Amino acid sequence: MPANKKLLVLPGDGIGPEVMGEVRRIIDWMAHRRAVSFDIEEGLVGGAAIDATGSPCPDATLDAARRVDAVLFGSVGGPKWDSLPFEQRPELGILRLRKELGLFANLRPAIVMEALADASALRAELVKGLDIMIVRESTGGIYFGEPRGIHMDAQGKRVGIDTEVYSEDEIARVARVAFDLARGRRNKVTSVEKANVMQSGRLWRAVVGEVHKAEYADVELENMYADNCAMQLASRPKQFDVILGSNLFGDVLSDLAAALTGSLGMLPSATLGAVQPSGKRHALYEPIHGSAPDIAGKGVANPCAQMLSLAMLLRISFGMEEDAKLIETAIERVLNSGFRTADIMQPGRARVGTSVMGEAIVRELEKLAA
């Protein structure tokens, strides 16, 4: 018997633990009905980790993340920790994991499910069938560049500094991820930067062009300024297939793309490292929504994004396409049947809480697998 796959579960803060609880239902169901089990460890991250250990990403969590085959992450942050010094904030939990595990490619799909086409901020015909993949660089750029900080100038006035810095290798490796993905989709990459004002943007455009010419000439490449991309996303989103951008532009544009789908509560993401010589590839999966402290603990959060993050994990890290598809189909069917959590509530549908949604999805899985 091959060894069980190892999974690290990090529920984190806010609605993280609630929605992760529903994912556990699916994992239990898989053990019973699909005869697949995982070795699951649970760890601390974010505010929960600060409370227990003083650090938003304790070494024990980092060590466990290095050991396992994949990490399933919930969300971090909340008002309770807002007044902590900058260096101790819960958000550093996810940033440290990305950096230390070398998770440089953040894949953020923005997909509009049939049942939710009229929940978008845009007219339904503009977003029906929308399927965009944003590839965001996630270990470099202004998130980590030096120098950074707030210091005093000669006049005793404060100056805030962040540095956008990208090496050509950092750009090339994330560009390859985007081109590879495009080949399995509609074969188009839109690379975004501000080459008109930023030096790092000039290099970005040049390097993406070189990688394209040398290795991916079969893929369509379009270069677009990031501000124009925001405008195009909000007016004609279906022109895009894969959007490639820096850490900061990817962060902003992925929130915009997510809003087009009608609910942040529906979107998963994957953050991948390089394939190592052993064949192992570090990977972390998390919903795009944050910890949503305003609704935490009320039993009303939408568990779908966390469940779809598990589906993405099964597909990408474990090659379990069939199981991933089962989860996605079950969710789609429950939505089609009219169940809605508050975030995606529409007139004439049945408003349900987190656990009723979770139970319904497992019941649907049961039917699909029968």
Of the candidate spans 99-107, 249-257, 332-340, 349-357, the one that interacts with Mg ion by CB under 5 A turns out to be 249-257
Binding to ligand IPM (CB under 6 A) within 228-287 occurs at: 251
Shortest Cβ contact with ligand IPM: which residue? 91
Shortest Cβ contact with Mg ion: which residue? 251
Residue 213 designated active-site: no
Regarding beta strands 70-75 and 5-12, do their DSSP bridges make them parallel or antiparallel, or are they unpaired?
Answer: parallel
- CA neighbor of 106 nearest in space, from 228, 225, 248: 248
Residue 94 binds which entry of ligand IPM, Mg ion, none, CB below 5-8 Å type-dependent: ligand IPM
Of the candidate spans 11-19, 213-221, 247-255, 361-369, the one that interacts with Mg ion by CB under 5 A turns out to be 247-255
**301 part of the interface to ligand IPM, by CB under 6 A:** no
Residue 194 designated active-site: yes
Binding to ligand IPM (CB under 6 A) within 72-111 occurs at: 91, 94-95
Instruction: Please report how close the Cβ of residue 251 comes to ligand IPM at its closest, in angstroms.
Output: 5
298 token code pair:
């009320």
- Quickly tell me which residue has 């579960």 as its tokens: 9
Binding to Mg ion (CB under 5 A) within 251-270 occurs at: 251
Instruction: Name which of 106 and 341 has its Cβ closer to ligand IPM.
Output: 106
Q: Rounded to whole angstroms, what are the CA distances from 32 to 42, 55, 70?
A: 20, 37, 21
Residue 107 binds which entry of Mg ion, ligand IPM, none, CB below 5-8 Å type-dependent: none
74 token code pair:
């919930």
Distance, CA of 257 to CA of 225 (rounded, Å):
16
Residue among 5, 69, 194, 285 flagged as catalytic = 194
Residues linked to residue 188 through DSSP beta bridges, in sequence order = 220
295 token code pair:
């609704």
Q: How many CB atoms lie within 10 A of CB 154?
A: 5
Q: Which H helix or E strand runs over 9?
A: strand 5-12
Q: In what order do the strands lie in the sheet with 105-111?
A: 38-42, 5-12, 70-75, 283-287, 268-272, 105-111, 131-137, 242-245, 188-193, 220-225
Distance, CA of 356 to CA of 363 (rounded, Å):
10
Residue among 6, 227, 238, 325 flagged as catalytic = 227
| Dihedral in degrees, nearest 10, Cα atoms 172, 282, 266, 141 | -40
Residue among 13, 69, 241, 251 flagged as catalytic = 251
Binding to ligand IPM (CB under 6 A) within 182-211 occurs at: none
Residue among 143, 166, 216, 285 flagged as catalytic = 143
Instruction: Please report how close the Cβ of residue 223 comes to ligand IPM at its closest, in angstroms.
Output: 23
Distance, CA of 160 to CA of 117 (rounded, Å):
42
Instruction: Name which of 87 and 153 has its Cβ closer to ligand IPM.
Output: 87
Residue 95 binds which entry of Mg ion, ligand IPM, none, CB below 5-8 Å type-dependent: ligand IPM
Residue 153 designated active-site: no
Active site residues: 143, 194, 227, 251, 255
Question: What residues line the site for ligand IPM (CB under 6 A)?
Answer: 91, 94-95, 251
Q: Enumerate binding residues for Mg ion (CB under 5 A).
A: 251
